[in-house]
Amino acid sequence: MSAVTALDGGFATQLSVHVGKSIDGDPLWSARFNATNPNAVFRTHLDFLEAGAEAIMTNTYQASIEGYGEHLHLNEDASLNLIKSTVRVAQMARTRFLASRVSTNQPRTTPLLVASIGPYGAHLHDGSEYTGSYATTVSPDTIQKWHRPRIDACVEAGVDVLGIETIPCKMEAAALFDMMCEEYPSVRFWISFQCKDNLHLANGELFSETVNSLWARARARRNKTLLALGVNCVHPQIATPLFKSVNEQKAPEVRIPLIVYPNSDEIYTVEEGWQGKEDCVPLEHYVPQWVELGARFIGGCCRTYARDIQRIKQAVETIAEKSHQ
């Protein structure tokens, strides 16, 4: 594994290549296909692995007991079993990929299997994962209770890392951090945030204050399992100033390890969907500045395909080669 790990891209985006339709707007989003078309889920993972991803995330962002109960009419046990089988689909894709590398005598670094743990707001299907509005109406205990069964299912099924992602508010991040330290002390994880601008989380707290305080708490606990803090599902232009607010004034040896997997440069509105594809700045353009600021994991989120990951991986490798010269 290199100093910077290339992540995969937008799962629903690449999945659409295999299912031939837009997935946006479905209350279960891509998680419906875990039940209806697991082969397409398998092929999507394989696409990212073949593009060079060194970590793939399970298709569980929108998977929850409540969501599967309401929209697939599954009971709690069946919902949790579907989440576990979704992890196994990712495991099978990784196994297939590694087997193909053996047959061609290519290097065999085992990619990380990361459980996608989306925010509490995702299952509400009201856009609140992009506002964090529930931070003042839901208790940390309720947040933990909601997340626990899905985390248990993913850990039991066998993942390497928990990717706690698109978190819009400090309260949810702190609740999950505490739960990971106390209940899953040997499980590695990251926390990445949803941000509304180049300084603030979606709910309005300062990104720099939130990240610095969580990292300080991890150090105080002598925690070694928090791998990184950062952002995902944001416009790529805001990632650099957000990262500067955390690490620019720190000496390189004490910089916080960061993670970034933004959307493409396109802009989304409910009325018009994704717009501006022809004006996009490719994500690999940003990679050098993110690495310079301490990024250790880089990939893509919405509207990023396997081909985008291939270019990100090439940018990461170019930086690594230059550093060794």
Residues in CB range of 20: below 8 A, 6 or more apart: none
3-state secondary structure 261-273: ECCCCCEEECCCE
Is the distance from CB of 173 to CB of 240 less than 8 angstroms? no
Q: Hey, how many other C-beta atoms are within 10 angstroms of the C-beta on 134?
A: 21
Q: Are 7 and 324 in contact (CB under 8 A)?
A: no
Determine the Cα–Cα distance for residues 162 and 191; give it in Å rounded to an integer.
Answer: 9
Which tokens hold the place of 209?
A: 């204050």
Judge whether 195 is annotated as a binding position. no
**3-state class of 73 per DSSP?**
coil
Beta strand 188-193 with 161-167 is parallel
Report CA-CA distances (Å) from 72 to 67, 75, 144, 157, 220.
8, 9, 24, 21, 43
- Give how far the C-alpha of residue 28 lies from the chain's centroid of Cα atoms, to the nearest Å: 17
195 with 201: CB under 8 angstroms? Answer: yes
CA contacts within 13 A on the Cβ side of 197: 6
Write the single-letter amino acid at 26.
D
Q: Is 302 annotated as a binding residue?
A: yes
Backbone Cα Rg of the chain: 18
Report the alpha-carbon distance of residue 81 to residue 87 in Å, rounded.
Answer: 10
Buried b (16+ CB within 10 A) or exposed e, 276-290: eeeeeeebbebbeeb
Binding residues for Zn(2+): 233, 301-302
- Binding-site residues from annotation: 233, 301-302
